[in-house]
Every structure is written in C-alpha cells, then in structure tokens.
Structure 1
Amino acid sequence: MMQKLLIHNGKVITPFRIIPRGAVEVTGGKITAIYEGEAKVNNAIAIDAKGRYISPGFIDIHVHGGGGHDFMDGDAEGFLKIAELHARYGTTAMVPTTLTGSKDHLISILKVYEQARKINKNGAEFLGLHLEGPYFSMNQRGAQDPKYIRDPDPAEYREILQKSGQIVRWSAAPELKGAMEFGRCLRENNVLASIAHTDAIYEEVVEAVENGYSLSTHLYSGMSGVTRKNAFRYAGVIESSLLMDELDVEIIADGIHLPAPLLKLIYKVKGPHKTALITDAMRAAGSPPGESILGHKQHGLKVIVEDGVAKLPDRSAFAGSVATADRLVRNMIEIADVPLPDAILMMTNTPARIMGIDQKKGSLTIGKDADIVIFDQNIEIQETIIRGKRVYHRTSDNKI
C-alpha cells in the first residue's frame, strides 16, 4: 500500500481561498484530497498543523548556493547541502544557477548536476539548470567575472546544450551580436530564454521577445533604465519589462536589492501572476555575517556579508543575495503590503508556470506533487514536505 499522510488542523492555502480549518491528504507523494473541517483518513500518518498555514512548497527558480556551498564549486555533495539548507526555509523545488565561466567549467557543472540530481533525497528538488551568462553586457556585469564575458557563440552554446538535457533556462543580454539567433536556438531546445545583465533599449527588447525571450532576470538588478542619446530619451529593460505583458519578471525581494517602493511598483504594474520571487542566494545564505566568496570557492570573488546582503570588499556595490524563500514572502507582506495569498502565489504557482511545470507543482491541487510547507503567521517554517516525504521539522531543526 502507498503511504498516506493527513496534514490537518491548519489554514489551507488553495488557488482560490484560504480554508480556515482544513486538511490535505497525500497518497504516494501526490495530493489526493483537500478537506474543509475535520477529516479522517484510515491508515494515514497524521501531521497536526496546530492552526498554522498549510501552503504549497516554495519554488526558487534562481539560486546559486547556500550553507557555505556554491553550485560553481562543482561538488555533488555541495549541491545536496544547498538543497537541504533551502528546504529548511520552505523551498521544495529549485533551479540551480551558474555564474559566468569557461565552456569547460560549465560543462563540468552539467555533469555534477546529473550526479547530484540522482542522489538528492533530503533537499529541495532540482528542476534543471539555469546558466546565467556568459553572454552579458560588460557594462552591466555586476559581480560576474569579466574575463569570461563574451558574445553568444553558436558552436559553443550548441555544444553545451547537446551535453545535457537538463538545462531549463539561460540568461543573456539581447543587444549582443548573435543574441537573436541564440534566443531562437534556446526555444527550439525547450530552454527558457531570459534577459539579463543588459544595456538593451526598448526596441532591442521587443526584438528579443519576438525571438523567444520571455523573462527578465532579477528586475532592476544588472539592467538598463532610461538613457539619453543625442538628447533623446530611450526606455531601457526596466521600463520595457514593466510595460510589456509578454515578459514575466523575477525579483530579489530581500528588502535590500529592491526597497519597498520598487517592490510595491512591480506588484502594482506586473501583478502576482507575472512576478516570481527569487532568492538569487549565494553560498553565505543561512550562514552568519562575515567574509565569504561569490562563485567558485578557490577562484571566486571575495565579498563581505553584512546588513543582510553580500557586498564587494570596498562596499561600493552589492555582490549577491543571502536571502531564503521565507524571507522573500515575509518581506512582500510586511514591507510591500502584499496580501498573503498573492505573496504565496509569487513564490509558488507563478514560478511554476514560468518554468512550465504548473501542471504538477505550484499549488495545493488534487493530482499535483505533494510539495507542502507549514508556517506560522510570521512565515517561520515549521515543516517541509517534498513529494510526500517529510524532510524538515522545526522542533528538531534536523531532517526527519
């Protein structure tokens, strides 16, 4: 017989409402029933939510590391530790993300990902890889290593795509030479094409959308705003992303990369169905403040973590996020005045829809994967369940 769970006595967040006193039934890793009021299920393991919220698991579609590890380290054990760390904060599925690097390094990460995906049992599920770069604007590179930044090379990116079927998204600057052909190639290979680290203007963004780009990577960060050329104003990627319904956006809602007014503006203009919350977390997520490294542990960029964010050593700019998913949801509610259901939507079903997996993840709906988190009114995670398996329980602060 397939194992059954009954998560009861909680406020169940469905796609339509919050059931004040409800329950979720899980059989064989799938959601098999949603109940209002008392529920009795024979031969089920009961989990008492104790009046807390029962929510879909959080889906992070842009994350680099956590718990002292970075995906660029190229270590399978590190992959697992990152997944386990973020599961403690409610992430049930994630898209591991690289930084700019050499072709050989990126290909080696693909191989490690394949290994880690097969043995990942106690952490957030891996949904496929996100290659962030190396096809970026030098001017908008941020903390990305400039020695690896280059224009799209068809021979290179086609070889990388052929090495693995696990690449699900790729971020690039659309104004670069060859970026349109690159976007078309990604779409032909069912890879999400995303606009990132770019100095493009509106007309170039329009062309990018026409050639397959559909997402703006970490809106406001590493992208152009209004510029002037010969006295004339041109809308940048920020304005284009807010204006164009064809573009989804993702935002680092750590409360630092984007202050409250910008979070409110994005929510007002794009809405919860077009906005995904991302951690964009580097290795220092879940660790105390102090010195850390962005990227590979031996060859990466030294940074300082303070004030809840990673900064360049001279403190001239941010160098990465140390957010976890619970913090994103909390911030949207507390500082952006977003209703709880919409904040949850931006961390669950919207990212699932963007990645094309909303038919199986992203909401508490019968037939979907039983990816569930239980949290209190402060969005403190009490329990994380992935495909019906309990992987984190707050009272022990350890995996079950």
Structure 2
Amino acid sequence: MDTSDLKIINAKIVTPTRIIKNGTLLAQHGKITAIAEGNIDYESKTVIDAGGKFLSPGFVDIHVHGGGGYDFMDNTIDAYLEIAKLHASYGTTAFTPTTLSCERDALLKTLSLYEEAAPLNVNGAQFLGMHIEGPYFAMEQRGAQDPRFIRLPDREEYQEVLRHSSIIKRWSAAPELKGAVEFGRYIKAKGILPSIAHTNAVYEEVLEAYENGYTHITHFYSCMSGVSRRNAFRYAGVIESGYLIEDMTVEIIADGSHLPPALLKLVYKIKGPDKTALVTDAMRAAGMPPGESILGDIHNGLKVIVEDNVAKLPDRSAFAGSVATTIQLVKNMITLADIPVIDAVKMMTATPAKIMGADDEKGAIVVGKDADLVIFDDDIRLHKTIIGGRVVHTV
C-alpha cells in the first residue's frame, strides 16, 4: 500500500465534537489533510470504502504490560515488537509500554531495549514513551506486584534511572511514602507525569501530592484506599480524592471484571470523558487462549490463571491482571455503561493522548494530526487499523 496518499469514503467519522455521516477523509504522508461530509473531489492512489462503518481516531492505550504471550519484563526485542503488533490488531495505534516492580538492573535493561526496539517497530502500535509502574508502592496495596522489589523512593536510584534513559514519560508511585512528594516534584520537573498508584493515601496526602505534580491516578479503584477509619475517625481515601479534585485525571480498566457496570457509570457520571481514560493494563495473556500464564518476567514472574476474561491468582482469591484489548474497552463502555459512541471513543483516544502530552499529533480526527485510524462496525467489531496512513491490520 502506498502510504503517501489515502482516501477513506462512506464513513461515519467520529470527530471530537460530532459524528459526520457519509464522511470522507484524506491523508497524505501520514497526516490528515481533509475531512468532509460527502465526497471530496480528489483522485487518490489508495481508496478505502468504509461501507458506512465508524471511522475513529486510533486507540491510545497508556498502560500496557504485554500481550500475545510476551511481557515487556521479558527484556527482549521480540517482546516489544510482538506486543506492539498484537495490540495493533485490536485497534491500538499508540501506547506506553509499562514495567512492573523489579530490580534496578532489570529496569535499566528494559529501558535500553525500548530504545533498541523503537526504530524496528514498523508493523505495530507506536511507542509513546515508557511508563514505570513501581517499585515505590504501599506494601498492603501491592496487588500482584512482587513484594520482593517494593521499596521506598530512593533519590539516588531514580536519579540514576533518569540519567540512563530519556524515554520515560510516566512513573506510578504511592504518594504517602516517605520521600514520595519530593520524588514527584523531581520527575515532574523533568517532564515526567507522576501518577498515584498502589496506595493507602488519605485525602490530605493526595491533595499535597496533586499540588506537587501527581495529577493522574493509575487504574482507578484497583489497589487503592477508599474511606477508612483511623483512631475511630473516618478519612477519605484515594478513590474519594479522585472525585473531589476536579482536575485530577483517572484511568479505568473497563474490561467488565475489574469494575462492574455500576462503577463504570459512576466514573463517567462524575469525572466525565474529558478526565477519564480507558486502559487495558494488559498482561502477556491478552489475545491468548484461557489457561495458565505468567505475570511479569517469563522466567521469574507470578503464575496466574486466565479465566472469565481476567487473570486471577492461582487460589482465585483476587485478580492478578487484565487480558483486555482496546476495542473491547470501547464496546464495554457503550454496552455496559450505556454511554454514547463519541464519548467512549474520546476516553480511548483524545483523553489518554492529552494525559500523556501526545495530543498535538494523536487522539483526534483533525486536519494536521497523524492519520492513525480505526474502522469498526455498529456492533463495535474492528475491521481495520491504520497507523500513519498505512493499514497494518484488516479483518
């Protein structure tokens, strides 16, 4: 396919403000050049007839650990490339590879491999920078994170990590830990988003963290405090803080398991599509059959069981990871939370792109932005994934 020239006709184009019926889109050299209702009189080398299906911005997933049998903590080039291809086949056009709590040397190797893999990634979802999840977490809220590696923020350690790599865009931590506020200020000054995660913080601690750069909450509701009692008095937790702090952004795993429909509706009602991003938080078992799998490093990770469309601990006492895909998240918000298509798409495109500072080029069908696009039907089934004006997956 000639990527220099693309015309898509007969599409329901999902823009930031409306759905254009019988729309036409033109793209040249990977950028959107025109959008209109009806035909645009232009002879293109490549024409795609959408057949009345939706034409949406490509999905932007800002929290991904793996997929297709691979995890970024495997620390191989193949892992990076195969995960990117797997998620592109479900509509993801850009994403942030995400780590787990680990030893310093393993983290540094993961970061180095990102830089090696990026120029080789021509058939998969594009990398938007690295998301480090951990190891500065509350032990009681570690979830499936390996307790061997959880520790307090270490200034010498995180400064070394930042000297080692310039591709870190986000770092998740528990803001109530000793040194965590200083950590947040430091990385914010370096252009990295501090994000609240795996935490027992109360409202007052979250407010201080927000004032020092922690403007986002990782996998909202999962592994975090709600209302609690201390010395007989009730305290609001991170969940309540996410609602109370109006400009705080949140992300939700809308796989239908981590949050029931009622909570999906509540997050949408209070935070709205402009402050809520959908994320897969997908592990290596995404796109794979049910059964046994491993969370994290293939050689040293946590054994899990995938069933009921979610990963569980072997004793089935708790969830241990997501196997969601982006097209599934969009469909779930429409069918389970009863929200409009335009808002579900925004939560999977414009909002996550803005959170990651990538909205100048990604997340919306607007002239001048990247021609990262997906075509899906009325039943929210994916038909094509287009990255930079080039079809990388078709059903």
- Please name the residue that 2:325 is paired with: 324
d(CA) in 2 for partners of 1:256, 1:96: 22
Q: Structure 1 residue 390: deviation in Å?
A: 1.0
Question: Residues 280 and 320 of structure 1 are in contact (CA less than 8 Å); yes or no, is this contact kept in structure 2?
Answer: yes
- Please name the residue that 2:264 is paired with: 263
- Please name the residue that 2:156 is paired with: 155
Q: Determine helix, strand or coil for the equivalent of 2:116.
A: helix
Q: Determine helix, strand or coil for the equivalent of 1:213.
A: coil
Question: Residues 349 and 361 of structure 1 are in contact (CA less than 8 Å); yes or no, is this contact kept in structure 2?
Answer: yes
The amino acid that maps onto 2:36 is: Y
Question: Residues 59 and 348 of structure 1 are in contact (CA less than 8 Å); yes or no, is this contact kept in structure 2?
Answer: yes
Q: Structure 1 residue 231: deviation in Å?
A: 1.2
d(CA) in 1 for partners of 2:253, 2:272: 15
Q: How many residues align?
A: 394
Query: Percentage identity across aligned positions?
Result: 62
Q: Note the alpha carbon deviations across 1:259-293, whole angstroms, 9 max, x for none.
A: 00100000000000000000000000000100000
Correspondence list, 1:121-270, <5 A? 121-270=122-271
Q: Structure 1 residue 246: deviation in Å?
A: 2.6
Correspondence list, 1:16-95, <5 A? 16-95=17-96
Correspondence list, 1:234-313, <5 A? 234-313=235-314
The amino acid that maps onto 1:154 is: R
d(CA) in 2 for partners of 1:121, 1:56: 19
How high is the TM-score relative to the length of structure 2? 0.99
Question: Residues 304 and 314 of structure 2 are in contact (CA less than 8 Å); yes or no, is this contact kept in structure 1?
Answer: yes
Q: Structure 1 residue 195: deviation in Å?
A: 0.2
How high is the TM-score relative to the length of structure 1? 0.98
Correspondence list, 1:342-361, <5 A? 342-361=343-362
- Please name the residue that 1:397 is paired with: none
Q: Determine helix, strand or coil for the equivalent of 1:193.
A: strand
The amino acid that maps onto 2:128 is: L
Q: Tell me whether 42-51 or 257-266 shows the greater mean CA deviation.
A: 42-51
d(CA) in 2 for partners of 1:378, 1:66: 24
Q: Structure 1 residue 2: deviation in Å?
A: 7.5
d(CA) in 2 for partners of 1:41, 1:86: 32
Q: Structure 1 residue 39: deviation in Å?
A: 2.4
Q: Note the alpha carbon deviations across 1:119-174, whole angstroms, 9 max, x for none.
A: 10000000000000000000000000000000000000000011111000000000
d(CA) in 2 for partners of 1:2, 1:110: 30
The amino acid that maps onto 2:252 is: I
Question: Residues 209 and 246 of structure 1 are in contact (CA less than 8 Å); yes or no, is this contact kept in structure 2?
Answer: no
d(CA) in 2 for partners of 1:263, 1:17: 23
Q: Structure 1 residue 118: deviation in Å?
A: 1.1
Q: Note the alpha carbon deviations across 1:47-69, whole angstroms, 9 max, x for none.
A: 11011000000000001000000
Q: Determine helix, strand or coil for the equivalent of 2:292.
A: strand
Q: Note the alpha carbon deviations across 1:220-269, whole angstroms, 9 max, x for none.
A: 00100000011110000000011111310000000100000100000000
Q: Determine helix, strand or coil for the equivalent of 1:276.
A: strand
Q: Structure 1 residue 356: deviation in Å?
A: 0.9
Question: Residues 12 and 53 of structure 1 are in contact (CA less than 8 Å); yes or no, is this contact kept in structure 2?
Answer: yes
Q: Determine helix, strand or coil for the equivalent of 2:207.
A: helix
Question: Residues 3 and 389 of structure 2 are in contact (CA less than 8 Å); yes or no, is this contact kept in structure 1?
Answer: no
Q: Determine helix, strand or coil for the equivalent of 2:46.
A: strand
- Please, which runs of 5 or more residues in structure 2 have no aligned partner? none
d(CA) in 2 for partners of 1:213, 1:387: 32
Q: Structure 1 residue 77: deviation in Å?
A: 1.0
Question: Residues 7 and 44 of structure 2 are in contact (CA less than 8 Å); yes or no, is this contact kept in structure 1?
Answer: no
- Please, which runs of 5 or more residues in structure 1 have no aligned partner? 395-400
Correspondence list, 1:101-120, <5 A? 101-120=102-121
Q: Note the alpha carbon deviations across 1:303-322, whole angstroms, 9 max, x for none.
A: 00000000000000000000
Q: Structure 1 residue 44: deviation in Å?
A: 2.9
Q: Note the alpha carbon deviations across 1:11-46, whole angstroms, 9 max, x for none.
A: 011111101100110000000000211223224310
Asked if 1:6 is matched to 2:2, the reply is no
d(CA) in 2 for partners of 1:76, 1:377: 37
d(CA) in 1 for partners of 2:110, 2:384: 31
Q: Determine helix, strand or coil for the equivalent of 1:62.
A: strand
- Please name the residue that 1:341 is paired with: 342
d(CA) in 2 for partners of 1:76, 1:389: 23
Q: Note the alpha carbon deviations across 1:71-113, whole angstroms, 9 max, x for none.
A: 0000111111000000011000000000000111000000111
Question: Residues 247 and 275 of structure 2 are in contact (CA less than 8 Å); yes or no, is this contact kept in structure 1?
Answer: no
Question: Residues 3 and 390 of structure 2 are in contact (CA less than 8 Å); yes or no, is this contact kept in structure 1?
Answer: no
* RMSD, aligned CA: 0.9
d(CA) in 1 for partners of 2:201, 2:269: 24
The amino acid that maps onto 1:386 is: I
